[in-house]
A and B are shown apart, each in its own frame.
Chain A
Amino acid sequence: MQDRPTTRELVEAAREFFERELLPTITDPRLKFRTLVALNALGIGEREMFAGDTFINEELRGLRALLGVHGPLSELREAKESEAWEHRKTLAERLRNGEIPPGTGAFLKASIGYKLAVSSPRFTARY
């Protein structure tokens, strides 16, 4: 176990430095744009760390319901990620073969919503 600051707090500290002290000094528009992109990437990382297991749990629940998978959920993040990957793969294959499980559209919107909550939190409000 590491001492404070946590990973998230460290990334936040770095982002704040870039944002408040470095960014205002950049005059080249292209460099400024790339710096904003990099800052946004750090923000995504922070939100993802903050979210913890919430979204992967939700997605996994949705995938299992859609594909009719039962059984106990692992507690380990890595196991949950790899189970979700397998279910996504199965769903992708079924869709390609012309089999659309009932509820697919609603599930997809919800699961993409979890991704967007991390990568682009204001996006769905634009619909």
Chain B
Amino acid sequence: MSTDFHSALEGALASLFEGKIALKRANLIPGGASKEAWSVDLETAAGPLALLVRRAGGGVIYSETLSLEHEHAVVKTAHENGVLAPKTYGYLPDVAGRPAFVMERVSGEGIGRKVVSRPDLAAARAALPSQMAHQLARIHAIDPAALPFLPGGGNAPAHERVIERLYREIDAAAEPHPAIEYGLRWMRDNPPSLFGETVIHGDYRIGNLLVGDLGLTAVLDWEFCHVGDPIEDLAWPLVRAWRFGQDKLHLGGIAPSDEYIHVYTRETGRKVDPKTLFFWELAGNVKWAIGCVTQARRHLSGKERSVELASLGRLAAEVEYEIVDLVERAPK
């Protein structure tokens, strides 16, 4: 870390805290191309603080995601509404030329493959289904009026907007994918039951949740938060890709999905029928298949050269297989 950056960060952080502060340590956590995450230890008048600073990356900007200022507002509001979102300390419009926001650094395992397999997390996995349902119920109870900038909403129902967006995205890839069309066809022929629209997290799954010995410690990655159909959120962690190899465990590779759905229904009053849940699980797979195709295009177009993005183009076949398999097993 350069001294310039260190002092810029320290200066920006000083504006958020009462009294004198001292920046003890700031390490860039490897990963994320579009946004940086800094693990920061701070000494304040009130004592030491373990912080996470999320800062804009150098190059790539995803147009579909919230700005850091809005993401900060979402995390703050979620925390204030009793969701296990990290406590926030403020938005910083300029940390060495780029925006950032500051939150507490929560401990826990975030890597999906480890959450589903670490032997010492067995008790956590047993607690997670009900915890995940409970957190989701709280997220869906957030008043959208508190977050007026959220995208989504509109005249057509959410599932129709989702289908329209998916068509737009697959058309932009300019490559025929009959399996994806097959999934979209089923979705159009079998509209889901409607349960109103709420604030939805947008990427609620294992891998975006921190897990400790007793289960869930934090809900992270709020950049896709928007207004939509709550069942889209409910079904997203059921998508096979987020089972991290534990294919038989429907809920994120950690458990069957029945307890999770049961607790969500009990807490929200939304009696989700199997066909509607299936609609959104299929929709999640279609969305992820198109995501793979689209992300490979980022590499191919030269926007963001990366062997990981390139490989996603071939990973799409796995998701396509799941789409066709799901349609063949669709509830009547």
Residues of A within 8 A of B (CB): 28-30, 34, 37-38, 40-41, 44, 85, 88-89, 91-92, 95-96, 98, 100, 104-105, 108-109, 112-113, 115-116, 118-120, 123-124, 126-127
Q: Given contact pairs A105-B328, A123-B321, enumerate 4 new A-B contacts (beta carbons under 8 Å).
A: A95-B184, A98-B185, A120-B317, A123-B318
Interface size class of B (residues with CB under 8 A): 20 to 34
B178 within 8 A of A: yes
- Inter-chain contact A104/B176, CB cutoff 8 Å: no
**Given that A88-B176, A88-B178, A91-B178 are contacting pairs, would A105 and B321 also be in contact in the complex, using a CB cutoff of 8 Å?**
no
Whole-angstrom distance between the alpha carbons of A71 and B325 in the complex? Answer: 32
Question: Is B321 in contact with A112, judged by CB distance below 8 angstroms?
Answer: yes
A41 pairs with B327, CB closer than 8 A: no
User: How many whole Å from B187's CB to the nearest CB in chain A?
Assistant: 12
- Given A28-B30, A92-B176, A112-B179, the answer on whether A124 and B321 have CB atoms closer than 8 Å is yes
CA distance A108 to B182 in the complex (A): 9
Residues on the A chain within 8 Å of B167, using CB? 96
- Chain A, interface SS category: helix
- Of B84-92, B195-203, B215-223, B308-316, the stretch lying at the interface with chain A is B308-316
- 10 closest Cβ contacts across the A-B interface? A30-B30, A95-B181, A119-B314, A115-B317, A88-B176, A92-B176, A89-B176, A91-B178, A38-B307, A92-B181
Q: A108 and B185: CB pair below 8 A?
A: no
User: How far, in angstroms, from A34 to B167 measured CA to CA in the complex?
Assistant: 31
A90 CB → nearest B CB, Å: 8
- Contact A112–B320 (Cβ < 8 Å): yes
Tell me which of A37, A41, A95, A123 contacts B185 (CB under 8 A).
A95
A41 engages B178 (CB within 8 Å): no
